Amino acid sequence: MRSYKEIRGILQERITSQQWQPGDLLPSEQALSEEFGCTRSTVNRAMRELADAGLVERRRKAGTRVVQPKSHPATISIPVIRQEIENKDQSYKYLLLERLEALPPEDVRAQLGLEQNEKALFLKSLHYGDGIPQQLDVRWINISALPEASQESFADIGPNDWLLQRVPHPNIEHVFRADKATAEEQRLLQLQECEPVFTIERRTWISGQGITYVRLVHPGSRYRMATRSSATPTFN
């Protein structure tokens, strides 16, 4: 008798080895459950996880087919900057540069879902590792959603850390870019001539209500984002 993990591994092997090629139809759950001497539920779980991983596509009546990949799925984990710095055993320093309540630009207003003349909290801060600037955090926070933000000075705690405590599990959207550094970014991040920045734009919201919109700006020469999840994911 085989476990769903073993079955998943066997099926995965048959796919990566191209015994089953893209477009091919896999045997039905019924057939496989007989082959492996287990119940259909067990086979179902194995195949469902392969489908979640993007290796196969399943449709009722049509069966399960090997996917012809048209893109490379990948998962990344964007660490909170303080964590990332401390994990590297560097000393972390946080510096608040600017804090004010003001009318956000139109695009930010739309992203946060604010009224026409509604103010938001603007924060600009710098994060250092071993005294070297690693991240510039330029952020708008929706005060209607988080009135406590008005009372917080953000002198000692970074807005990212603060928000993670208040709103631990928001919805998130990210955009990554390689940008030319502005003059201000060049100065604040101590960039060399022509050194680009790696920008993470993040929008968070919860049940339709915008929470924050932020640009995380990193020195191109000191930042990389890595992935270790594959089209053929390393299951546990």
Residues that bind DNA (CB under 7 A): 1-5, 26, 28-30, 37-42, 44-45, 47-48, 51, 58-64
- Give the Cα separation of 54 and 220 in Å (integer): 32
Which is nearer to DNA, 64 or 142 (by Cβ)? 64
Q: Which residues pair with 167 in a beta bridge?
A: none
Which is nearer to DNA, 55 or 121 (by Cβ)? 55
Which is nearer to DNA, 63 or 196 (by Cβ)? 63
Residue 218: which of DNA, a second copy, none does it interact with, CB under 5 to 8 A by kind? Answer: a second copy
- Give the Cα separation of 2 and 219 in Å (integer): 50
Parallel, antiparallel, or unpaired: how do β-strands 92-102 and 171-179 relate?
unpaired
Least distance to DNA, CB of residue 126, Å:
39
Tell me which DSSP letter residue 150 carries: G
- Give the Cα separation of 158 and 89 in Å (integer): 19
Least distance to DNA, CB of residue 164, Å:
24
- Asked if 136 and 81 touch (Cβ cutoff 8 Å), the reply is no
Residue 155: which of a second copy, DNA, none does it interact with, CB under 5 to 8 A by kind? Answer: none
Residue list 45-74, contact with a second copy (CB under 8 A): 55, 66-74
